[in-house]
Amino acid sequence: LAQWRRGQGYMDVYLAHVREYDQDLLELLQTRPIDFLPAMEAAAVDVLRRLEMDAAESGEDGPDGGGGPPEVQIVLQSDQHPLSIRDVTAAHVNKLLRIPGIIIGASRMRARAVSVRCKCKTCGAEKEIPVPGPFAQAALPGRCDRNGQATDDALGGEADCGPAPFVVIPDRCVYVDQQTLKLQEAPEVVPTGG
């Protein structure tokens, strides 16, 4: 709670503690981190906000008056057996792995949409479309579900909104910072010879 009050938007989670709590939860986290990390982060924000409200009701106050960050990033700490870069296969894609190595390059931070808000040009209907993964793009609907029902047609009939009527509303989308890292084997694990 003190970390939250200082505006530090991260929380360390030890996988050994998750294993002690629920082995099935750990397996889900390791096999489907794209699905479960956002849920863990949302749960952490919810719990911290409840703790903050309880502290405010009991008269406690943080050094900055409370509030905390709107989001929490879960930082996973693991004691699992490391996997060599050479042993990573297609079966490991989208799984949580511990790989020893040296970061030799990092891209600039860039904003990536995780949820896209779009609006029909004809009738004004809005939709929120989740972006399925870090390398995927949102697929805007080809047709509007409302088909002009929100428009005030002079003849009183429904007009078709036409093909591809949606435009993205950038200010109403949800973004996260994304960075790509280049990982190289640690010198001590590189096999000798050719």
d(CA 53, CA 59): 10
Distance of CA 65 to the CA centre of its chain: 28
pLDDT digits (tens, 9 = 90+) for 86-128: 999 999 988 999 999 999 999 999 999 989 999 998 888 899 9
Confidence bin at 5 (pLDDT 50/70/90): confident
Residue 117: per-residue pLDDT: 95
Kindly indicate whether the domain formed by 2-80 is annotated with CATH number 3.30.1640.10.
yes
d(CA 99, CA 189): 11
d(CA 180, CA 157): 51
Rounded to 10 degrees, what is the CA torsion of 62, 67, 70, 72? 10
pLDDT of 149 above 70: no
Give me the residue spans of the domains in the chain: 2-80, 110-178
Residue 158: per-residue pLDDT: 53
Question: DSSP assignment of 147-179, as one string?
Answer: TTTTS--TTSPPPP--SS-EEE-GGGSEEEEE-
